[in-house]
Amino acid sequence: MNKKKIDLFSAILLLINLVFYLFFALYDGAIICVDSPSYINMDSSREPLYPMLLLLFRNLLGESNYLFWIAVFQSILAALAAYTLVNYLRKTIDISKLCTLCLAAMPFAVSILCRFVAKRGSMYSNSILTEGVTISLYMIFLRFILEYYFTQSKKSFWWCIILILVQISVRKQMLISLALFVTLILVLCLKKKTVLRGMWVIIGCTLFILGMNKIIDIGYNYVVHGEVLTHTGDIRFVSTIAFYTSERQHGANIKNEEIRGLFYEIYDACDANGYLKHSAGEGWLERVSHFGDYYDCIQIDTMWPMINTYVVDKYGYDGVAISEKADEIMGTISKAIIPKNIDDVIGVFFDNFISGLITTVAQRNRILTWYSLVIYSVYILLLITNLRNNKDSKVNAIAVITLLSIVYNVGLVSVVIFCQTRYTVYNMAMFYVSLILLLHAVFVKMWGKKILRKG
């Protein structure tokens, strides 16, 4: 009888998730964003799997309404992801149905914040962006990496491998999943004193995942663009930071005279419009706001089109060849400029890192910055309390893994781009899920399991 009740509760939990996400898919439809056309048009600067997903739906359902069905598909995936993570936690940790519902509300809350409070006009689950699938895939990955850490089962191990490969082939930012997986393998091997075996497993997994990702990239670009290459445009992120932190005299370090002249043209255009770091305010909030406000102005509005125009005028290239040559030029500029302004680059990274920690749990403004400090402090104090009460608790492991995931994601994003919520939202729901679990563990310790026992 108890098993039937639990199964019924699981079914209700799944139904609630499906109704929530499908309602917004039907109400809002598919949302076209600034980056959407580059995925729809299968641009060579985009990773292969998401454009291929769009192509599959377009071929199956026709040009007129396939994007709507993509939104429906992504919404179902979001519902399944939220359900599978929360249901796994419910079955793994001794928590009540009320606590389970609180956990289930966290992905909903994040989606509602994105839809209404952040004024995006949509949730990521029905936006034509890689986040439409990667946020959900990462949530499923977290469920399986937790299972792997707790059980070391072969099933969870291979699910992690598959999910990491798929995520990276959708969005390179998801290299964070590989970093997290490698870290937990190493921790488990240190605990078991099988470090040598663990290193071989890490090397094998890393080579397999990165090698397969490279094959998928090359195969996709050969079929779609007729070129044997991985996706283009990665260097533009580093080059944007190089321009943002540079001073005009740094151009003297570029040996190629024509590229040096191109650097000056781009620099002068950016400088005249106040896009560069020396035009930012003095305070931390002013600095990170300035970086975020003008990052795309440097890259998308100025650097990228000016370099592409230079390539077309000088070499007469078209198609993918423009992007390949542009990457080469941006690489030349970055290698010459960054060593001369490395202090400013590091300063931007640390400003950005703090900003990313904030946008993982809230929005970046004066009030919510203080809220973020408080909520992280509460989280860490609860974790320390629970470690003192029961250092082997699964809740503690979940909380630490969540913090690692946040640090890895914010660290990676901070190196290459500004930390807006779109890039840090991956861990937002999981942070609050872990916070609730930590609170639950404290309540159980203080007042006894009977108060919050399973229903």
Closest CA to 120 of 354, 425, 367, 392: 425
- pLDDT (tens digit per residue) in 132-169: 999 999 999 999 999 999 999 999 999 999 999 999 99
* CA distances for 257 relative to 252, 253, 264, 387, angstroms: 9, 10, 11, 60
The angle, 0 to 180 degrees and rounded to 10, between the axes of the packed helices 394-416 and 428-447 is 160
Report the SS3 class of residue 193.
coil
Contact partners, residue 60, CB within 8 Å, separation at least 6 = 66
Contact in structure between 72 and 429 (CB atoms under 8 Å): no
The tally of CA atoms less than 13 A away on the side-chain side of residue 61 is: 15
d(CA 258, CA 340): 20
Q: What is the pLDDT of residue 449?
A: 55
Q: What is the pLDDT of residue 450?
A: 42
DSSP 8-state code for residue 392: T
Please provide the distance, in angstroms rounded to a whole number, between the alpha carbons at the two ends of the chain.
13
Helices (H), 253-393: 257-272, 284-298, 304-315, 320-337, 342-361, 366-389
Q: What average pLDDT is seen over the chain?
A: 92
- Specify the DSSP class assigned to residue 31: B
Q: How far is the C-alpha of 74 from the C-alpha of 289, rounded, in Å?
A: 31
Q: Low-confidence residues of the chain, pLDDT below 70? A: 1-6, 119-121, 447-455
Cα separation, 293 vs 391, in Å, equals 44
The 10s digit of each residue's pLDDT in 336-377 is 999 999 999 999 999 999 999 999 999 888 899 999 999 999
* DSSP secondary structure code for residue 168 in this structure: H
Spans of all domains in the chain: 235-340, 355-361+368-455
| pLDDT value of position 327 | 92
Cβ atoms of 55 and 224 within 8 Å: the answer is no
